[in-house]
Amino acid sequence: MQNAEIAGKANFEHIRYAQLWEDADVLTAALGDCQGGTLVSICAAGDNALAMLTLDPAKVVVVDLSDAQIACLKLRIGAFQNLTHPEFLALMGARPSTERGALLDKATSALDAQTRAFWQGLAPNVIAHGAGGVGKFERYFRIFRTRLLPLVHSRKTLDDTFVSRPKPARQTFLDQRFNTWRWRLLLNTFFSRFVMGRMGRDKAFFEHVDGSPAQHVARRIKHAAVDCDPAENPYLHWILKGTHGAALPMTWRAEHFETIKARLDRLDIRPGSLEAFVSTGEKADGFNLSDIFEYMSPDVFAQVYGSILKASAPEARLVYWNMMAPRRVPPAFADQVTTLTEVEDRLKAIDKAFFYSDFVVEQVKK
């Protein structure tokens, strides 16, 4: 198995992301028509690999370097199979619940012994925060919400953030109610490289990142709070309030529950690196690459990108995000792909996972 560059640098023993912080509505729209095809997805917490089942592919190959992240997908599989949709939302933490211990037992009852034991060890956390709240990244948001946010905004201001209003009124709300000097001070402190590295992301992940995380977050908050309607944003709701409100991420919405449940057998879970998949000789029609390129040096990125192209069927789409480090088709491969700029622009404008700075959709030429 080929080694991925980041594997030697970061610690993958614990759940880093207990839910997906990338918008599956945007991902699935970007992948286009995939009916009957083979898709490849980075697992992370598993939500987006599950969302890709709604595209009716023959299979979704799911890869991840981290066994803890693969365990997040396995939990979801058990939950789709054994819980009702309202129970699923309660277990994951989208809704408040006092039943999570029992729901966790039910969801994990048919899973392999190792995965069951892994989740049993996390039961107190799942009961307290929901299974979608137990990652390092979510813990970071929780500290922000419970310890720092109350120093800056009243409960009323936070509740009012999720009242649907026309765009000009959203700008006024942001300027007059939300973007106070206390809020700006909090952003600059909490999103300093030092604090983010200590609490949210490994420092290794910042090696290739330009610009201040706080400046970046301030720009993206305008996107989430003014350009888009916060009332429709489940990610912002979780960050500020610790649960989802009326809006849910695609995979968690009732309308997709039965479709996903009926297609779980199309998942092909392969613990290990994406690089390992692309060296098998199989061809895929679409890739959800999360934001993994951002964690690679430009040289390694170019090398991995080339190997993905070799594993791509004609017209396959490569879909990925950038948070802070710019990554797009390396010059050496520019003549082999078409950047779907119109698709990107249309979807970037509605991307609810607001902290990314770029969303890339590249299509392999015929």
Residues that bind ligand SAM (CB under 6 A): 4, 6, 12, 16-17, 20-22, 42, 44, 63-66, 69, 273-275, 290-292, 295
Instruction: Identify the DSSP state of 52.
Output: G
Q: How far apart are CA 153 and CA 169, in angstroms?
A: 19
Q: Distance from CA of residue 286 to its chain's centroid?
A: 17
Min. distance of Cβ 16 from ligand SAM in angstroms? 6
Q: Which is nearer to ligand SAM, 4 or 90 (CB)?
A: 4
Min. distance of Cβ 289 from ligand SAM in angstroms? 9
Min. distance of Cβ 296 from ligand SAM in angstroms? 8
Q: Which is nearer to ligand SAM, 13 or 342 (CB)?
A: 13
Q: Which is nearer to ligand SAM, 82 or 251 (CB)?
A: 251
Q: How far apart are CA 344 and CA 257, in angstroms?
A: 27
Q: How far apart are CA 69 and CA 20, in angstroms?
A: 11
Identify the three-state secondary structure at position 45. coil
Min. distance of Cβ 17 from ligand SAM in angstroms? 4
Per DSSP bridges, beta strands 59-64 and 38-42 are parallel
Tokens linked to 350: 């509605």
Min. distance of Cβ 154 from ligand SAM in angstroms? 29
Backbone phi, psi, residue 40, to 5°: -125, 135
Min. distance of Cβ 109 from ligand SAM in angstroms? 25
Supply the DSSP string of 16-73, one letter for each residue: S-SS--S-HHHHHHHH---TT-EEEEE-TTSHHHHHGGGG--SEEEEEES-HHHHHHH
318: which strand partners?
A: 287, 362
Residue nearest to ligand SAM (CB): 21
Distances (CA, A) of 337 to 297, 305, 312, 360: 21, 11, 11, 12
Element (H, E) at 339: strand 337-339
Q: How far apart are CA 139 and CA 18, in angstroms?
A: 10
Element (H, E) at 38: strand 38-42
Min. distance of Cβ 140 from ligand SAM in angstroms? 11
Q: Which is nearer to ligand SAM, 10 or 152 (CB)?
A: 10
Q: Which is nearer to ligand SAM, 87 or 294 (CB)?
A: 294
Min. distance of Cβ 36 from ligand SAM in angstroms? 25
Min. distance of Cβ 352 from ligand SAM in angstroms? 13
| N-terminal to C-terminal alpha carbon distance within the chain | 29
Q: Which is nearer to ligand SAM, 73 or 316 (CB)?
A: 73
Min. distance of Cβ 149 from ligand SAM in angstroms? 20
Q: Which is nearer to ligand SAM, 14 or 167 (CB)?
A: 14
Q: Which is nearer to ligand SAM, 64 or 229 (CB)?
A: 64
Q: Which is nearer to ligand SAM, 178 or 305 (CB)?
A: 305
Q: Which is nearer to ligand SAM, 43 or 174 (CB)?
A: 43
Tell which residue, 292, 294, 289, 291, has the closest CA to residue 208.
294
Backbone phi, psi, residue 16, to 5°: -90, -45
For residues 53 and 60, the answer to whether their CB atoms sit within 8 Å is yes
Q: How far apart are CA 92 and CA 75, in angstroms?
A: 10
* Number of alpha helices (DSSP H) and beta strands (DSSP E) in the chain: 18, 7
